[in-house]
Amino acid sequence: MPTSAKGSYHHGDLRATLMKIAMRMLEEGEPFSLRGIAREAGVSPTAPYRHFADRDALESALAAEGLRDLKADLLQGGGGPPATVADLAELGVAYVDFALRRPALFRLMFGNPCDDANDVRVRAAAEVHELLGAAVSGVFPDVDPAALATAGWGLVHGLACLHLDGKLTSTSAEDVANQVRGSFAAIFAARPHGVM
């Protein structure tokens, strides 16, 4: 059931309205175009082009919003900066949970080429990377935080994709969370003595 803005859009923030409609259509699996979104918003077919040059620009804006939402999810634990591997694993749990709750957005965020010319998207991605870098340097201050953050990201991103592609199955969100925790524990327990 579409939540059309036709009856309610008059003078407000058209860009926000278009984004909301596009996000809903994306996450409900509906194909969307700028014309279709304009129709849903009850505005002229050319109105969206005042805010988005083309569909790629709209998708980049959706990806940037998704990255901000992901960052908010990663920070939601609220227990302060990670101090242990178990704390880092909880960031991984939040990442995989985001991917499984919002698969279409997750695939858009990471499945499309990154638009390096889009400052908003680049900034949103950089904030997530900075968060991960700060998290790992708090737990492992003597290790290159960028390299370790990339390794951790690869681990959780891989787990998320394996679940999304049906290669890993779990019966509940708690099973998925425990699998992420177990993967972190296994990786860090397997390190040679004297490393990290």
Report domain extents, the chain: 14-50, 55-189
SS3 of residue 12 by DSSP? coil
This prediction's pTM: 0.87
| C-alpha Rg value of the chain to the nearest Å | 19
Please give the structure tokens belonging to residue 34: 């700028």
Per-residue pLDDT of the chain (196 residues; tens, 9 = 90+): 344 444 444 447 999 999 999 999 999 999 889 999 999 999 999 999 999 999 999 999 999 999 999 999 999 976 778 999 999 999 999 999 999 999 999 999 998 777 677 788 899 999 999 999 999 999 999 989 889 989 999 999 999 999 999 999 888 999 999 999 999 999 988 766 554 4
What secondary structure letter does DSSP report for 81? S
Residue 27: CA count within 13 A, CB half-sphere? 18
15 vs 53, 61, 97, 176, CA distance in Å?
12, 10, 28, 36
Of 3.40.50.720, 3.100.10.10, 3.30.1330.50, 1.10.357.10, the CATH number of 55-189 is 1.10.357.10
